Amino acid sequence: MFEDNSKERLMEVMQRVNPTFKPRLNENLNIENVIPLKEYDFNSIERQVEFQNLINFIGEPNGYKNYLHTTDSIENAKAICQNGLIYDQFEKTTDYVYDSSSIIYMLGIRKAYGNYTVIIQIKPNDVKNLNTINQISTDEDGDEIYTLPPEYIKGYYDRTIKKIYPNPLFRK
């Protein structure tokens, strides 16, 4: 735990977790009498070793943006690799990761969602124009549902046995 519960420290932690985080101006955060935040150790050697094969599999960005999607069953992970990721809002079902610290952090906070992490890699221009690469359909309520094709799914990671399953349909 860290002792400094200042507004500045809170903003620093929030921006580290989400680089696009911007505090609302003139927002009066009352941080008196709050429970101290538990500091998350991004650089723990144990964490680096635990997830090193996943970090290596994702690799350096090299012209791609990397996203993670966590699911609770191996069947879901396999289906996403074969059929693509079905979603209604991409930003709500995936987590953008940009380095080993963000990968480790997202695996930690998403653990409750399941033991299977799907790795998605998309070129930045395609991210800006997701509608051009997605298949669009509607659900029973008439709402649009999007499917990110399987060629953007690099594979999935089974955290129970620490094994990577590459997707043969992924195109690099």
Q: What is the mean pLDDT of residues 148-172?
A: 94
Q: What percent of the chain has pLDDT over 90?
A: 43
Residues 100 and 148 in one domain: yes
How many angstroms separate the CA atoms of 92 and 143, rounded?
16
More confident position, 16 or 95: 95
Domain that holds residue 162: 45-166
**Number of domains observed in the structure of the chain:** 2
Does residue 1 register a pLDDT over 70?
no
112-142 confidence digits (pLDDT tens)? 999 999 999 998 888 888 878 888 898 889 8
Residues 88 and 19 in one domain: no
**Residue 157 banded pLDDT, cuts 50, 70, 90:** very high
Does residue 60 register a pLDDT over 80?
no
Does residue 7 register a pLDDT over 70?
no
Query: Burial code of 4-24, b = ≥16 C-beta within 10 A, e = fewer?
Result: eeeeeebeeeeeeeeeeeeee
- Asked, for residue 34, whether it belongs to a domain, the answer is yes
